[in-house]
């Protein structure tokens, strides 16, 4: 079983914690299971928020359409940026060590390359020339300064 399956299961479980029909508390009560504590619900919510960009990045890197070495560096650079933003802007109670471990692991493995190579210059030619993955055309602007932003927009890696 791939870790993505665990992520997607928790993502689905999180959708039942928002209330309404099929609420997790109602389901647990109807089958005589203990209810989830608020701390457990918060952990699941944080876990899904933190790992959403990683899951999207892995889905992108494992897809047939974007199987280029040139996709790897911008994807990793964008992923590190997204995780740093989550750590900086979210008030995490439980998953800060997870964010630190993900960022640390990626920087240890890829940091020396990601920091030295302009991101967009690594993209496949059809993306460098202004053709986006959705088939539309357009320029990304100055490639040397906006590489990370262009990669994020091109690959649609976000935590939303």
Residue 52 structure tokens? 């959403």
The residues, ordered by sequence, that sit 6+ positions from 61 with a Cβ below 8 Å of its Cβ are: 71, 72, 75
Residue 49 structure tokens? 């928020």
Print pLDDT tens along the chain (160 aa). 576 788 988 998 888 887 655 688 888 888 998 988 889 989 999 999 999 999 998 888 888 777 677 788 888 888 999 999 999 999 999 999 999 999 999 999 987 777 766 555 555 555 544 444 444 444 444 333 334 444 455 445 544 4
Contact 114, 77 (CB under 8 A): yes
- How far is 14 from 67, CA to CA, in rounded Å? 31
- How far is 29 from 32, CA to CA, in rounded Å? 5
pTM over 0.75: no
**Residue holding tokens 């504590």?**
37
- How far is 109 from 97, CA to CA, in rounded Å? 18
Residue 123 structure tokens? 């993209």
10 Å CB burial of residue 130 (0-12, 13-18, 19+) is: exposed
The residues, ordered by sequence, that sit 6+ positions from 65 with a Cβ below 8 Å of its Cβ are: 133
**pLDDT at position 94:** 96
Residue 107 structure tokens? 């920087």
| Of 57, 59, 48, the residue nearest 76 (C-alpha) | 57
């Amino acid at each position: 079983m791939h870790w993505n399956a665990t992520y997607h299961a928790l993502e689905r479980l999180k959708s039942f914690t928002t209330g309404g029909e099929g609420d997790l508390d109602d389901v647990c009560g109807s089958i005589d299971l203990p209810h989830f504590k608020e701390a457990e619900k918060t952990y699941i919510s944080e876990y899904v928020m933190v790992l959403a960009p990683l899951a999207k990045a892995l889905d992108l890197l494992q897809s047939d359409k974007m199987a280029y070495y040139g996709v790897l560096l911008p994807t990793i650079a964008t992923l590190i940026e997204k995780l740093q933003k989550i750590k900086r802007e979210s008030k995490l109670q439980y998953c800060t060590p997870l964010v630190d471990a993900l960022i640390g692991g990626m920087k240890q493995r890829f940091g020396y390359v990601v920091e030295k190579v302009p991101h967009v210059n690594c993209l496949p030619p059809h993306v460098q020339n202004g053709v986006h993955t959705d088939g539309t055309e357009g320029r990304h602007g100055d490639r040397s300064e906006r590489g990370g932003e262009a990669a994020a927009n091109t690959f649609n890696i976000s935590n939303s």
